[in-house]
Amino acid sequence: MNSQWLLLIISVPGKSATPRMRIWRALKASGAGIMRDGVYVLPQTQQHRNLLEQQAAAVRKLQGTAFLIEHQARDQTAFAQIQNLFDRSDEYAAWQAQALAFKQRLPALSEARARREQAQHRRELEALASIDFFPDGQRSRAQQLLADIEHELNRIFSPDEPSSVDGTIAQYGVADFTGRCWATRANLWIDRVASAWLIKRFIDHAATFVWLQDIGNIPAGCVSFDFDGAAFTHVDRYVTFEVLTRSFQMQTDSALRRVGELVHYLDVGGAPVAEAAGLLALLTGARERSATDDEFLRLVSVLLDHLYAAFQQQVER
C-alpha cells in the first residue's frame, strides 16, 4: 500500500544562512507543511518526491543531513492532523481582501495599470491554487471573484464585449474572403487583436481593417467580427478567435489550437494556460507602446508569429 505522505527531515550547518534560506523558500513555494523546525511534509506524488529529493541533495551538498521518509497515517485522526498543515484559509482570505480592494479602485485606474494589476492577481491566485492540495471550495470562490473582476474590468474598458450566442458555426472557404475589408471595435484587446492576426496570417493575406468607434456604423462591404451581431463573434463556449478557426476549418492545426486556448483564457477565463501570464504582460507592454490600433496589431502580430512557431516546434518534437 502506498504511503500517504513524504517527510523531509533536514539539518543544515549554522554557517549556511543564504543556502538555508534558498532551501526554505523552495520548500515554502512547493506548499510543504512544516511539522516542526527542519521537518517538512507533502502529499505523496512523484512530483513532490522529485522536489524533496532535490532539496535533500542541496542540504547534503552543504554537509548537512537529510532524510526522505514515506509515512502512512495510522488512522483518520492522524491523517487529519497532517492535512491541517495545508489549510490555505488565511492565504485565500488575504488574496480576496487584496482582490476586492483592487476591484474598488478599478474605475480610477488607467487601463494599462488595471490590466497589469489584474495579471498580478491572476498569477498570485494560480500560485496559491497550485499548492491547494485539499480544496474545500475556497479555490472555486476565489476563481469566481477573479472572473467577476475581469468582467468588471472589461465592462469599464471594453464596454461592447460580445455576448455568446447559441448555434452552429457556419463553414466558409478562404477563397471567398480575399482582399476584404474587416471591421471590429476600436481599442483592440486580446480576442480582437488575435483574431485580426489570424485573419491576416491565415485567411485573407490582403485584408484591410477598420476599427469602429460606433459598431452601428460599419462601412459597406466590410466583414464584421467580435461584437454582438457581427458575422464572426462568440458562439457557445467559443470566443471569436476560435470561431474563426472553426469557420475556416483550421481547428486541426495543433499549434493554432494552443494559441486559441491562450486567447480563450485571457478573454473569458476557464482552464489556466501556462503561457498566459507571459503573453498578457507582453500584450500590456505592446498596448502601452502603441499610439494606434494599427501599431498595436503590428507589434502583437510579431509576438503571435513567434508564439505560433514555438508551438509548432513543440508539436513536431
Q: Please give the average per-residue pLDDT across 51-79, as a whole number.
A: 92
The partner residues of 238 in beta bridges, in order of sequence, read 235
- From CA 240, how far away is CA 39, in angstroms rounded? 51
Q: Give the model confidence (pLDDT) of 213-249 as tens digits.
A: 999 899 999 999 999 999 999 999 999 999 999 999 9
Percent of all residues in the chain with a pLDDT value above 90, rounded to a whole number: 71
Q: Is the pLDDT of residue 2 over 60?
A: no
Amino acid at 180: R
65-71: strand order across its sheet: 33-36, 39-43, 5-11, 65-71
Listing DSSP states for 65-80 in one string gives EEEEEEE--SSHHHHH
- From CA 272, how far away is CA 262, in angstroms rounded? 8
| Residue 164: pLDDT band with limits 50, 70, 90 | confident
What is the pairing mode between strands 33-36 and 39-43?
Answer: antiparallel
Q: Give the model confidence (pLDDT) of 144-161 as tens digits.
A: 899 888 878 878 887 777
CB 10 within 8 A of CB 61: no
181-185: strand order across its sheet: 208-212, 181-185, 223-224
Q: How far apart are the first and last CA of the chain?
A: 37
Helices (H), 170-292: 190-198, 240-247, 254-268, 276-289
Q: Give the model confidence (pLDDT) of 20-30 as tens digits.
A: 889 999 999 99
Domain ranges for the chain, please list them: 5-85, 88-157, 174-316
Q: Give the model confidence (pLDDT) of 293-316 as tens digits.
A: 999 999 999 999 999 999 999 888
Position 3 scores a pLDDT of 65
Give residue for cell 467577476.
148
CB 216 within 8 A of CB 222: no
Q: Please give the average per-residue pLDDT across 86-107, as a whole number.
A: 96
SS3 state at 61: helix
Q: Please give the average per-residue pLDDT across 34-54, as a whole number.
A: 94
Average pLDDT over the chain reads 91
Residue with more model confidence, 275 or 304 = 304
Position 219 scores a pLDDT of 94
CB 184 within 8 A of CB 230: yes
Listing DSSP states for 17-54 in one string gives HHHHHHHHHHHHHTT-EEEETTEEEEE--HHHHHHHHH
**Which of these CATH numbers, 3.40.50, 3.30.70, 3.30.950, 1.10.10, describes 5-85?**
3.30.70
CB 81 within 8 A of CB 36: no
Backbone dihedral angles phi then psi of residue 297, each to the nearest 5 degrees: -60, -40
pTM of the entire predicted model: 0.69
Percent of all residues in the chain with a pLDDT value above 70, rounded to a whole number: 99
